[in-house]
Amino acid sequence: MMEIRADAKRRRWYTELYVQVLFGIVAGVAVGWLAPHTGTALGPLGDVFLKMIKMVIGLVIFCTVVSGIGGMSDLKKVGRVGAKALLYFEVLSTLALLMGALAANIVRPGAGFNIDPARLDSAAVATYVGHAQANNAVSFLLGIVPSTVFDAFAKGEILPIVFISVLFGYVLSHLGERGRPVAVLVESIGQMVFAVINVLMRFAPLGAFGAMAYTIGRFGIGSLRPLLGLVATFAATGTIFVCVVLGAVSQWAGVNIFKLLRFLKEELLVTLGAASSDVALPSLMQKLEHLGCSKSVVGLVVPTGYVFNADGTSLYMTLAALFVAQAMNIDLTPMQQIAIFGVSMLTSKGASGISGAGFIALVGTLSVIPSIPLAGMALILGIDRFMSTGRAVVNIVGNAVAAVVMASLEGELDRERMRRVLSGTRVADCAIGKPAEDLAQVGAGAGVAPSN
């Protein structure tokens, strides 16, 4: 064991992916600040990296879920884990909504703006209004079932892919020996997909550099100054939610939240740079399996959590909604705030999977509160890119904790393995068919699984 630790210490620090991503983020901020036009032109680097990861997300979910469910002997477990996960998601999302509303009422970041709604550019919000109106509860439910099997993968929508994967896994588990060749094929494809992800994640520093350069160059750090109170309030509330709420939940499951955050540092930094948690989904699932969570639990909980467990988005919605009202000197009654809270519980799910989902969900929420003009959304449109970064980071931490908690509840969390991995010890992992030496790097925080 000591020899393994010594080998890990001899790794050169600049070869670590999280270090390279951090350099990419810093360099992106510098270029965007010093040369805004150049920074804006570098945006495609981030977009290409995001597209490269998104192109394999469907296969990752399909292979993981089908393999996990197909190997189950007790299929009642699928429904049991799903029901527990949905209940957990709703409780945590509700707490996040409450914390956002509480922070807005205590700090009042919008007070003193004295904005006249008539002077705001409502046209800038018009596009988001259309998206919000198209994503009601009925369309959300209908969207779970894709038009064809291939349609779900072509569009890259997570929930339909999960639906198909669960269906295929359920049937595969009933085929017995006849389904064994298919199970082996799916497992082999999964191994290949994760190997591809390991290659793609080498481009993460470049993607983070381009995305951050574009954000700073396009919007400028100066755009934060008028709304610094909102950004600071959101950042502080998100930090409290992660450290206190998620910290307490993970401690109950036997995991120290700060050790878990250190273990996921690559995923968090890539998410920070790309302002999207999607880029971290494949490697997050891989790392959680390596941590000691069963493949079946990870396959069910994490993809579903990306739709139903958006804690960062929930925090943002109530905080931003009340900020807009405060900025326009609109005094909301307790019943109106309760209405915002109730509608947010639905719209935070209905806009999942859409670019700018948090902002669209917020527009959908305010559209049912007539006393708040939708033109007020123009106030925060310019800083939404910065806010989406914070939303994505909180979202990915929330889903990592959810997977650990569900695995713990199901008795499918290898606690001894988790303890060794979180302590930095290299642990072999044969679950996805990789050599022990290669996967040891994941536990040590070296490769990806390196990467929300």
pLDDT (tens digit, 9 = 90+) per residue, 396-447? 999 999 999 999 998 899 999 999 999 887 776 544 333 333 333 433 333 3
pLDDT at res. 128: 52
Asked if residue 76 belongs to a domain, the reply is: yes
> 1: exposed, middle or buried (C-beta count within 10 Å: 0-12, 13-18, 19+)?
exposed
- Give the H or E element holding residue 78: helix 76-107
Mean pLDDT calculated for residue range 296-322: 88
Percent pLDDT > 90 in the chain is 25
Asked if residue 179 belongs to a domain, the reply is: yes
Asked if residue 395 belongs to a domain, the reply is: yes
Asked if residue 306 belongs to a domain, the reply is: yes
Residues 277-290 have pLDDT tens digits of 888 888 899 999 99
Asked if residue 41 belongs to a domain, the reply is: yes
Going by pLDDT thresholds of 50, 70 and 90, the confidence category of residue 180 is confident
Asked if residue 448 belongs to a domain, the reply is: no
Q: Are 297 and 88 in contact (CB under 8 A)?
A: no
Asked if residue 451 belongs to a domain, the reply is: no
Asked if residue 366 belongs to a domain, the reply is: yes
| Residue 427: CA count within 13 A, CB half-sphere | 20
| Domain of 308, in residue numbers | 2-443
Orientation angle between helical segments 384-409 and 204-219, nearest 10 degrees = 140
Quickly list H helices, 264-330: 265-274, 281-291, 295-308, 311-327
- For the chain, state the CA radius of gyration: 22
CATH classification at residue 46? 1.10.3860.10
Going by pLDDT thresholds of 50, 70 and 90, the confidence category of residue 121 is low
Q: State the chain's mean pLDDT as an integer.
A: 80
> 333: exposed, middle or buried (C-beta count within 10 Å: 0-12, 13-18, 19+)?
exposed
- Closest among 235, 230, 237 to 326, alpha carbons compared: 230
Domain count for the chain, please give it: 1
Q: Are 449 and 193 in contact (CB under 8 A)?
A: no
Residues 340-352 have pLDDT tens digits of 888 888 777 655 5
pLDDT-wise least confident of 235-244, 320-329, 359-368: 359-368
Report the alpha-carbon distance of residue 52 to residue 240 in Å, rounded.
33
Cα-to-chain-centroid distance, residue 203: 19
